[in-house]
Amino acid sequence: MRSHTYYHWFETSKKRDYIRITDMVSEQLDKSGIKEGFCLVSAMHITAGVYINDAESGLIEDIDGWLKDLAPESPNYRHHKTGETNGDAHLKNLLVGHQVIVPVTDGKLDLGPWQQVYYAEFDGMRKKKMIIKIIGE
């Protein structure tokens, strides 16, 4: 079994942002030389997500609005008693999920035609880390 590990730092200019990372993941797979296996893409922070969906700007706005409805910003989170202000971002992380596994087949990310890997920042404008880890042969 072989493995390949890569860390990427984001620092978004906006508080919330949605960044397509399929090409970055694919590039790491090429570097790994792995032909059959699993590729984990996982946020290493608890106020960011990783998901797979469509690269369509209208939909991304829909997702952002939907997350604001279901996990709203509010001054009333108990978490804010610690001095934090990002309670909503923790809930958005739980809603969307912080990781995906992309299957690797014949040396390629085995994604459907519209599946794109996204990093979703919910509490940005500071350095945040993500891991891409591939195991296989």
The span from the first CA to the last CA of the chain, in angstroms, equals 5
Min dist CB 30 to its own copies, Å, is: 18
Min dist CB 31 to its own copies, Å, is: 15
Min dist CB 78 to its own copies, Å, is: 4
Binding region for its own copies (CB under 8 A): 1, 3, 5, 36-38, 40, 42-46, 51-54, 56-59, 61-63, 66, 70-71, 77-82, 87, 90-91, 93-101, 103, 105, 110-112, 114-115, 129, 131, 133, 135-137
Closest CA to 118 of 104, 97, 87: 97
Closest CA to 71 of 43, 91, 47: 91
Task: Give the integer Cα–Cα distance in Å for 18 and 51.
Answer: 10
